């Protein structure tokens, strides 16, 4: 039960209702995080833009990598709701139950190459409160594995997004 009142569909701004209607028709419900965002139209649309442009659109990182970041950072941040949501999304994207469970066991348990593990470990480090300790050499090390500036920026932006959304979910008691 959320710690604040979450709006029902009928209480949402018309612009948010327009975005929510297809989800509601397809799934029969709106998730708590959607409802939380709908409390404030500006927050909703700012957040939705990030979701659309970095998580749903095709980008320089694969969907598998983006979902691995989502699951790893959300687990690290103790966001059960986000882990559960992204387990489902990962399944919809074609990740097997075994692959999802390996991700949730941590980077070392994953069956991916050393390059991917390095990027995921870098993202976990970037998700920490002491991310200010990351230096140019750390970024250069990731780039030396073949990642471009755009890919590194995208990975860190997705990491930052999950720190943000995990914080909102955790603070407002979503998924409890």
Instruction: Give, for all 176 residues of the chain, the pLDDT tens digit.
Output: 899 999 999 999 999 999 999 888 888 888 899 999 999 999 999 999 998 888 888 999 999 999 999 999 999 999 999 999 999 889 988 899 999 999 999 999 999 999 999 999 999 999 999 999 999 999 999 999 999 999 999 999 999 999 999 999 999 999 87
The whole-angstrom separation of Cα 123 and Cα 36 is: 26
**What per-residue confidence (pLDDT) applies to 103?**
97
The whole-angstrom separation of Cα 149 and Cα 17 is: 37
pTM higher than 0.85: yes
**Number of CB atoms found within 10 A of residue 134's CB:** 14
**What per-residue confidence (pLDDT) applies to 108?**
96
DSSP annotation string for 2-71: -SSPPPPGGGS-HHHHHHHHHHHHHHSS--HHHHHHTTSHHHHHHHHHHIIIIIIS--SS-HHHHHHHHH
């Amino acid at each position: 039960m959320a710690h604040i009142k979450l709006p029902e569909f009928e209480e949402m701004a018309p612009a948010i209702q327009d975005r929510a209607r297809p989800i509601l028709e397809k799934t029969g419900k709106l998730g708590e995080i959607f409802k939380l965002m709908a409390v404030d139209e500006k927050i909703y649309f700012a957040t939705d833009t990030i979701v659309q442009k970095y998580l749903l659109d095709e980008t320089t990182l694969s969907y598998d990598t983006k979902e691995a970041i989502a699951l790893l950072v959300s687990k690290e941040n103790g966001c059960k709701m986000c882990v559960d949501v992204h387990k489902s999304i990962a399944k919809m994207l074609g990740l097997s139950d075994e692959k999802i469970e390996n991700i949730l066991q941590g980077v070392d348990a994953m069956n991916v190459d050393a390059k991917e593990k390095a990027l995921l470990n870098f993202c976990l480090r970037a998700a920490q409160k002491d991310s200010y300790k990351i230096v140019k050499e750390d970024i250069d090390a990731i780039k030396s594995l073949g990642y471009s500036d755009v890919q590194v920026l995208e990975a860190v932006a997705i990491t930052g997004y999950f720190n943000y959304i995990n914080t909102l979910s955790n603070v407002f008691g979503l998924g409890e």
